[in-house]
């Protein structure tokens, strides 16, 4: 029997043996890997939630208290030297012929905005509203434990009966007034009409309620006459 192997046969046999060896080697590695002990899996420690980052407000020192408006004594009441005018509460604005201003203001100055105004005012020591807005002052004080005070006006008209004037003054006092004053528009009209005596009568009737009483005006003729 001849042992002669041609070159083609040698190459074919070599390729077959090499392929079988590769498959066998891979199988051995797979079995070895399966039989070798596996290291215990490392479980990561549960992640702890990071503490919340301090905000700028938390880190910053507390704001200095607002500087307070100085007060003066008016009768039994302590009144801030700066007061809130009732126009900015009731919405009766001095707008000349700009008829839309009052509607625009009332749309902006809601009840909550009025209460916000009172709160900011109190923070700065302003403790009194004068002229109009008694209902808002009372509601604010009740709802927010405020200390806002109120000085209403007295509306005096020419030919007004004494009982009518007395009732009107008492009504204003019952609003929680800490003082009273004759409304500036009324005083202007009375002096212009030569009826300053009506102002005197209103002041004397109001003084019976043991409250400070003043006279408002827009015209210099009123303080000159009084």
- pLDDT of 150-160, one tens digit each? 999 999 999 89
Summary mean pLDDT of the chain: 80
| Greater model confidence, 187 or 24 | 187
> Above 50 in pLDDT, residue 131?
yes
Q: Domain residue spans in the chain?
A: 69-225
pLDDT at 91: 74
Nearest to 196 by CA among 187, 185, 207: 187
Please measure the distance between the N-terminal and C-terminal CA atoms of the chain and give it in whole angstroms: 154
Q: What is the pLDDT averaged over residues 196-208?
A: 95
Contact 136, 130 (CB under 8 A): no
């Amino acid at each position: 029997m001849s042992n002669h192997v041609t070159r083609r046969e040698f190459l074919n046999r070599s390729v077959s043996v090499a392929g079988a060896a590769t498959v066998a080697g891979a199988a051995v590695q797979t079995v070895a890997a399966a039989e070798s002990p596996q290291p215990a899996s490392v479980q990561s420690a549960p992640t702890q939630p990071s503490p919340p980052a301090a905000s700028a407000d938390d880190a910053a020192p507390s704001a200095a208290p607002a500087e307070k408006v100085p007060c003066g004594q008016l009768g039994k009441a302590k009144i801030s030297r700066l007061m809130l005018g009732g126009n900015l509460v009731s919405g009766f604005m001095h707008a000349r012929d700009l008829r839309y201003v009052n509607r625009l203001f009332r749309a902006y100055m809601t009840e909550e905005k009025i209460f916000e105004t009172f709160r900011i005012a109190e923070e700065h020591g302003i403790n009194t509203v004068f002229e109009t807005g008694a209902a808002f002052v009372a509601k604010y004080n009740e709802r927010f434990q405020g200390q806002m005070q109120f000085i209403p006006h007295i509306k005096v008209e020419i030919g007004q009966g004494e009982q009518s004037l007395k009732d009107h003054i008492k009504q204003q006092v019952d609003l929680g007034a800490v003082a009273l004053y004759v409304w500036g528009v009324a005083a202007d009209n009375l002096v212009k009409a030569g009826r300053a005596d009506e102002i005197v009568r209103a002041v004397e009737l109001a003084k019976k309620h043991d409250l400070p009483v003043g006279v408002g005006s827009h015209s210099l003729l009123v303080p000159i006459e009084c």
